[in-house]
Chains A and B, each alone.
Chain A
Amino acid sequence: MSAGYDAAIIGAGHNGLVTAAYLAKAGLKVVVLEANDRPGGAAATREFAPGFRVSAVAHLLHALHPRITRDLGLKRLGLSKGLKATGTAALLPDGGRIEISRDSAATSASIGRVSPADGAAYAGAIARLVRLSGALGGCMLRTPPSPAMASNDLRTKIDLGLFALSLRRLGRKDLLELTRILTMNVADLAGDLFESDSVKGLLAFEATLGAYLGPRSPNTVFNLLYRLSSFGPQGMGAFHLPAGGMGAVGDMLAKAAGNAGAVIRLEAPVEHILVEKDVAAGVVLAGGEEVRAGLVASSADPQATLLKLVAPGQLDVQFLKRIRHLRMNGCVAKIHLALDGLPDGWADGARRLVFAPGIDHVERAFDCAKYGRVSDSPALEVVLQSLADPSLAPAGKHVASILFQYAPYKLRTTSPDDARQQVLERGLDTLDALAPGIKGRVLASEVLIPHDLESQFGLSGGQWHHGEVTLDQMFFLRPAGGFQRYRMPIPGLWLCGAGAHPGGNVSGAAGANAAREILRDVKRRRAAR
């Protein structure tokens, strides 16, 4: 039996580490228990072929919350060192591309070559969406209120008032527009804003990425706003590639937690959460070792935490049903390529390339997923990591980290092995059509379908947000109505991962919010004693 801790954190993913850092900073004795041999969770860098390293799951940093960066002193720990911002290039079927960057004149000119009207409209339209998303983003670092207004404390009511105020401050026209588009599908919104299918396709991709939704599914505008909120004051303003890959971010957060005094134990998989007299009392590791703690905070997803780590018979029937029915059908696969060299033109311009040449292209790709198949003709996001950090590949060689949309977790007749094969074949065929000859430059490859994300990174359903980011699974409904305040039904058990508000992306917001609620609770209990 180990010495008792104040808090045991399950999982050294970015949220677990953020929670650990905040709790340790507040003087709690904290232990973080991680199954893998490195911290970071889905923010990881790994070698997939000799000399070739790549960000294994998340590969762009854009949502890390500025307040968390400040609170945890991440800049001192080297966050900005080697951090490269990147724009996006939309690859067009004819070999052309649209370059989108923070230089709005250049962006407008680039789009203008495809459609002058869209070139003129783009910057204004996106700025407005970012502004609208910013009003929603204000509640990122706040604890969601209860819909039963009477049960909210004063602080939550004030937060809710501030949220309402931020909506009011949008002004009448923007507020109306936000109300209009919030639940809409992105195909209709794209039709409102743009005329060119190339630009619409890009918007459709941004709005569907990471969700089991096609451009014509409701809720896709919400997903778009959710992603865009990181381009406002609640995020980093742009996509960034960290030196050393996303693993560097995991390492940095581990350092922040370690410096604050948290103990991080790697290769210490939690087998189950110890519940004594209906209260969480610690965790039991796979080897049988008991780690006792005053509270347990899990950064694993809600299904892993509540269905696997909590033994049957500790939670209420209807609550468990809600958790079982969370929509967690991950549908993005990862392809990692070791390349002998880059196709012509790829070395210049944006390091993030998107292939989604039209609304229908993305919708058809989704049609396959809808019926449990890998997309015949996928939408792709290619991140050329070695351009930002050449040390990720041997000299003169390159690595590409590719998101393949859609490859659903819930497959109808395809076996996971076949799905892996199809992802690689169809991904390479799609790329080769855009950059002829790239197939011949592939030295090594690796495919991670959602099943692999589940088995290797503990993401249930391979869903990287710990539950889809849709209105019915957000805010006070995340992970379930009545349990939005990071407290799980078992006293002493907390959820501090992306399965809690405000959800996914490498933002650390859920971890920080959970830590704040935990500390309030600890303080209250100390005062009561």
Chain B
Amino acid sequence: MTHVQHLKPFLRKTPFHGPMEALMHGNGWIRWMGYYAPAFFDSEQSEYFAVRTGASVYDVSPLIKYSIRGRDAARFMDYLVTRDMTKVKPMQVVYTAWCDDDGRMIEEGTVFRLAENDFILNAALHQLHWLEEAAYGFDVAIEEISEQICGLSLQGPTAREILKLLGVAGIEKLAHFSILEMAIDGRWLRIDRAGYTGDLGYELWVKPKDAVWLWETLFRLGDPHKIAPIGSLALDMTRIEAGFILVDADYIGAMHAIRPTQRISPYEAGIGWAVNLKKEAYFTGKRALAREKSEGLSRHILTGIEIEGRKPAAGSFLYADKAGKQELGLTTSAVWSPVMKKNIAFARLPPRYATPGQQLWIEIWYPKEQKIERSMVRCWTRNRMFFDPPRKKQ
């Protein structure tokens, strides 16, 4: 033995860990930002159907949350992100990217605007260093509040019914990407209508001391509405159907790229719609992104593809021809969509191949009877938002 690693317990438990552990029917814990997080409770498939046909509950407490407030907070946020923050009203959520000087994406996530000069930035990775660098010259206070609140994502067609039973006044009228704050049984509760599943859904935020109350209340009220806890595997299936990209899966954050060429722009990540070059304020990367757009410098665009057959196609090469002479790009995330009965994936394609409807070829290697076999099948470019039911916004 050449090396002994003395492991000490260091993973933290979120405030929902107790009730989650009771439902953990297998060895489903994985590490997420230093916390125990469920990959699954029972089975990925049944959890997936909870999202699409009932109501699913996923613990989003490990998300990293920053409070940004102060006299210049509104101006600072507009300088930080690619969206036009002047168009976001208090108690609204916006999905946005933020970039480095070269217009390469550091990350994307949601911003809650709670008041004129009071924001919360939700991120998957730590951003404090970048935020503090960016805040030079602005009168803002930036604080990481990840442990001050904890949250559950309640997603699925019956989610609203459960919240009605909870007694949330005005839940019927809460529009997509809006926020409500209230007290229930004397407990502070914030609800935003957003999520990572592309379905009707909400995120519920409480103080850590009220976590168990929230969990138990939801499951008690939601029982007739097919409420079920889910893990990250089922969530991943739904987010691919919804076309949502994931850092470190579909792109590498600019601060984490080992080679500068690994960094990608929001245009290349296929979220060019979240870049507002016409907004009044300057934002970091705006000049670089304007140049990328006007000079057509995007190297590739992350787009959706629909693939013939059922073979899982993550990390597969795409070609313009069946012979595989002209290589076009690579898939990132992929899934068989049970509700749509389609084999779908995200693919990095040259811009001229990224418009929906084009036929390409994909080379999939798959295991079969202790061998790896190759199949070259057709695929077609599609809008990446494969699953977009009307109930999401209704």
Q: Identify the A interface with B (CB < 8 A).
A: 275, 278, 307, 311-321, 324, 489
The CA-CA distance from A319 to B130 in the complex, in Å, is 13
Question: A275 — nearest CB in chain B belongs to which residue?
Answer: B282
Establish whether residues B281 and A313, one from each chain, have CB atoms under 8 Å apart when the complex forms: yes
User: With A313-B281, A489-B287 as given contacts, are A320 and B79 in contact (CB-CB < 8 Å)?
Assistant: no
Give, as a whole number of angstroms, the nearest-CB distance from A490 to chain B: 8
The CA-CA distance from A319 to B284 in the complex, in Å, is 10
Establish whether residues A317 and B287, one from each chain, have CB atoms under 8 Å apart when the complex forms: no
Q: Which residues of A contact B78 (CB under 8 A)?
A: 313
Q: Choose one: B75, B133, B281; the contact of A317 (CB below 8 Å).
A: B133
User: With A312-B79, A312-B138, A317-B134 as given contacts, are A278 and B287 in contact (CB-CB < 8 Å)?
Assistant: yes
B285 in contact (CB, < 8 A): yes
B203 in contact (CB, < 8 A): no
The CA-CA distance from A307 to B287 in the complex, in Å, is 19
Question: A321 — nearest CB in chain B belongs to which residue?
Answer: B133
Q: Choose one: A307, A313, A316, A321; the contact of B76 (CB below 8 Å).
A: A313
The CA-CA distance from A314 to B75 in the complex, in Å, is 11
Q: Using a CB-CB cutoff of 8 Å, which residues 27-79 of chain B contact chain A?
A: 72, 75-76, 78-79
The CA-CA distance from A318 to B98 in the complex, in Å, is 13
Give, as a whole number of angstroms, the nearest-CB distance from A201 to chain B: 42
Question: B100 — nearest CB in chain A belongs to which residue?
Answer: A318
B286 in contact (CB, < 8 A): yes
Question: A323 — nearest CB in chain B belongs to which residue?
Answer: B136
Establish whether residues A278 and B282, one from each chain, have CB atoms under 8 Å apart when the complex forms: yes
Q: What is the total number of residues of chain B having a CB less than 8 Å from a CB of chain A? A: 20
Q: Which residues of B contact A317 (CB under 8 A)?
A: 100-101, 130, 133-134, 136, 284
Give, as a whole number of angstroms, the nearest-CB distance from A308 to chain B: 9
Give, as a whole number of angstroms, the nearest-CB distance from A481 to chain B: 11
Establish whether residues A319 and B286, one from each chain, have CB atoms under 8 Å apart when the complex forms: no
Q: Choose one: B130, B133, B282, B287; the contact of A313 (CB below 8 Å).
A: B282
The CA-CA distance from A514 to B8 in the complex, in Å, is 61
Question: A322 — nearest CB in chain B belongs to which residue?
Answer: B101
Q: Which residues of A contact B133 (CB under 8 A)?
A: 317-318, 320-321
A-B residue pairs in contact (CB < 8 Å), sample of 17:
A278-B286, A311-B137, A312-B137, A313-B76, A313-B78, A313-B281, A313-B282, A314-B282, A316-B100, A316-B101, A317-B100, A317-B133, A317-B284, A318-B101, A318-B284, A320-B136, A321-B136
Give, as a whole number of angstroms, the nearest-CB distance from B113 to chain A: 18
Q: Which residues of A contact B286 (CB under 8 A)?
A: 278
Question: B135 — nearest CB in chain A belongs to which residue?
Answer: A312
The CA-CA distance from A313 to B279 in the complex, in Å, is 13
Q: Which residues of B contact A489 (CB under 8 A)?
A: 287
Q: Which residues of A contact B284 (CB under 8 A)?
A: 316-318
The CA-CA distance from A318 to B100 in the complex, in Å, is 7
- If A313-B282, A316-B101, A320-B136 are given as contacts, then 6 extra A-B residue pairs at C-beta distance below 8 Å, sorted by A number, are A275-B282, A312-B72, A313-B137, A313-B281, A317-B100, A317-B134
The CA-CA distance from A315 to B284 in the complex, in Å, is 7
The CA-CA distance from A307 to B76 in the complex, in Å, is 16
Give, as a whole number of angstroms, the nearest-CB distance from B139 to chain A: 9
Give, as a whole number of angstroms, the nearest-CB distance from B287 to chain A: 6
Question: B78 — nearest CB in chain A belongs to which residue?
Answer: A313
Establish whether residues A313 and B75, one from each chain, have CB atoms under 8 Å apart when the complex forms: yes
Q: Which residues of A contact B287 (CB under 8 A)?
A: 278, 316, 489
Give, as a whole number of angstroms, the nearest-CB distance from A203 to chain B: 40
The CA-CA distance from A313 to B134 in the complex, in Å, is 9
The CA-CA distance from A60 to B240 in the complex, in Å, is 70
The CA-CA distance from A321 to B284 in the complex, in Å, is 12
Establish whether residues B100 and A313, one from each chain, have CB atoms under 8 Å apart when the complex forms: no
Q: Using a CB-CB cutoff of 8 Å, which residues 103-138 of chain B contact chain A?
A: 130, 133-134, 136-138
- Nearest 10 CB-CB pairs, A to B? A312-B137, A316-B101, A313-B79, A318-B101, A317-B134, A317-B284, A316-B284, A314-B282, A278-B282, A312-B138
Give, as a whole number of angstroms, the nearest-CB distance from B295 to chain A: 13
The listed residue with most B CB atoms (<10 A of its CB), out of A278, A313, A315, A318, is: A313
Q: Which residues of A contact B76 (CB under 8 A)?
A: 313
Give, as a whole number of angstroms, the nearest-CB distance from A483 to chain B: 11
Establish whether residues A313 and B136, one from each chain, have CB atoms under 8 Å apart when the complex forms: no
Q: Which residues of A contact B137 (CB under 8 A)?
A: 307, 311-313
Q: Which residues of B contact A314 (CB under 8 A)?
A: 282
